Amino acid sequence: MAPHAIGESSHSTAVPDVLSGYTTVNVLSDKARVVDNSLVSDYTYENATVKRLPGGKLEVTPSKVDYNFKVDLKVPKTGLMMVGLGGNNGSTLTATILANRYGINFRSKQGLQKPNYYGSVTQASTLKLGVDEDGNDAYAPFNQILPMLHPNDIVIGGWDINSANLAEAMERSKVLDYDLQRQVAKYMAQIKPLPSIYYPDFIAANQNDRADNLIDGDSKWDHVMRLRQDIADFKQKNELEKVIVVWTANTERYAEIIPGVNDTAENLIKSIKESHEEIAPSTIFAVACILDGVSFINGSPQNTFVPGCIELAEKHKSFIGGDDFKSGQTKIKSVLAQFLVDAGIRPVSIASYNHLGNNDGFNLSAPQQFRSKEISKKSVVDDMIASNQILYNKEKGDHIDHCIVIKYVPAVGDSKVAMDEYHSELMMGGHNTISIHNVCEDSLLASPLIIDLVVVCEFFSRVSYKLAADEDAKFEQFYPVLSVLSYWLKAPLARPGTMAVNGLNKQRACLENLLRAFVGLGTQNELKLEERLW
C-alpha cells in the first residue's frame, strides 16, 4: 500500500462543496447536498445489539440503519431570556456579550485585556476533521462546521426576583474587573429584569430580602399565562424569530413526586390550575415555555422536569434540557472517574468539599437546597459504575462512597474552592489516592456554558431526520429531551427508561459525530492506519 493512500479522498473533484458560502469548511461529499437552503445528508448508523445468554455469555449482533438528516442553514435572530437575569451568571454573561459585541478592551492588574469567549466549546474549541497530506490531524473551529448562532447576536432579557438593573447587579456580583464594569455600565443599566415568581417554600429563607420584583397574585396558572405573555412581548419587541429560556436562578428544593399531582401531563396542568403547593417556580417556567414551543434549559440541580413536565414536552414536541451547569469540579470528576474505571482501577470513595462565597453558596447553605445540589453532583459517576461489571458487582450492591460537602464562605466570593480526594483499589491490596485542589471563578466558568447551551439548542432546533428507507416519511425533529446538551450539565436529563451518559469524552464524541454526520462525513476515526500500515 502506498503511503497515505488510505487518507486520499474517494471522491472526484467534481463533487461540489456542499457548504460553499455558508462556512469556511469546504466539505466534498457525495452524501450531502443543499436543497432549498437546507443541507440534506445520508448517514448509516452502525451499532450492535447485545443479548445476555445463560452462563454469562454475550451475543453481539451488528446493526445498520440508514437515516437522512436535514439542517436548516439559515440562522434565525434569537433571544435569550434568563430566569435569574440579575444574578452572578446573568450579569456576567450579559457584560461579556456586550464587551465582545462592542470590542471593549479593559485593564486589569495583569495589563490590557481583550474580550473573548474562552471557556465556550462552540466559540473557543476546535473539532478534528481528518488528516492532512502528511497524515497529521487537521482541525477547524467548532462553529465553522455548520452555520451556528454567534453570541454577539443574542438579544438578552429575562426575569429576576430582585429589581436591580444589570449595572447594579454586575457591581453587586463582584465578578468582573472594575475597568470593564465602568465601560459596560451604560449598556447594562438599560436592561432591567422583568418581575418573576417567588414561592418561598422552594428556596432558602435567606433570599427573602432580595425579593422585591414579583409577579402579583397567588394563582399559579395565572403565572404561567403571564410568563407566556412576557416571552411573546419580548419576541415581538425585538423582532425575534426564536427565543430560548435558561434557568440560572437559585437552586430550589426537590419537589415531591405525587401521584395525581405531577406524575402526568394532564395531572400537572390540573395541579397548576389548582395552585398546588408542590409545583415549583422552575416547573412553572418550564410549562410556560413548553406550551408555546419555546426551548427551556434548567441550569440548577432541582427536579424541575417532573414526570408530568417531560410528558408535556413530548406532547408539544418542545425541547427541554437539564439539569445543573457542569462547570468545574464535576466536569473534572466526569473525566477522572472515567479514566480510573477505564484503566481497570477501582475507585471506592470520592470526597468532594466546596467553599463558595457568592449568593449561590448563600442559598445552598439551607439544607433542602443543598440536598438538590448533592443529588446532581453524586449522579455523575453512575454510568461509569454500570459500565464495568468486573469492578462493580450490581447484585452485591457495589458502589462508590461519594461524599459531597458545600460550605458558604463569604470571603472567597465568586472564587469557588473545590477539594477532591479519590481513593481507589489497586492490584494485590494496593491503594491509590488522588487529591485535587481547584480554585475557579464560578461565574466565569458557568457563563460560557450558557452560551454553548443556547447555541447548540438553537442549532438542533434546525435539525430534523427520517428513515432513509421510507421515501414517504416526513422529517421529524429530535426527541424533546435534548440529551446532546449533556456535555454542559451535571445531571443530564435522559429519555425516560434510559441511563444518562455522564462521561465527558463520550458526550463530546456524540456532539462531534453528529456534526460530521450532518455534513456527510463518517464517524470520527482514530485508527490512524496512515502511520500503522506499510
Active site residues: 324, 373, 416, 490
> For 426-521, where are the E strands, in sequence order?
431-441, 463-467, 476-477
Cell 466549546, residue located: 121
For the record, the C-alpha cell of 37 comes out as 437552503
Cell 450531502, residue located: 32
- Short-list 237, 187, 143, CA closest to 455: 143
Residue 320's φ and ψ, nearest 5 degrees, are -135, 150
Distances (CA, A) of 62 to 47, 54, 65, 478: 6, 20, 11, 24
> For 232-371, where are the E strands, in sequence order?
242-247, 295-298, 320-321, 346-356
Residue 108's φ and ψ, nearest 5 degrees, are -120, -175
Distances (CA, A) of 469 to 49, 143, 353, 479: 20, 31, 53, 20
CA distance between the termini of the chain: 6
Cell 399531582, residue located: 261
Strand partners, 107: 112
Rounded CA Rg of the chain = 24
- Short-list 159, 158, 167, 164, CA closest to 187: 167
DSSP secondary structure string for all residues of 346-375: EEEEEEEEEEE-SHHHHHHTSHHHHHHHHH
For the record, the C-alpha cell of 315 comes out as 406532547
306-324 b/e (C-beta count within 10 Å ≥ 16 → b): bbbbbbbbbebebbbbbbb
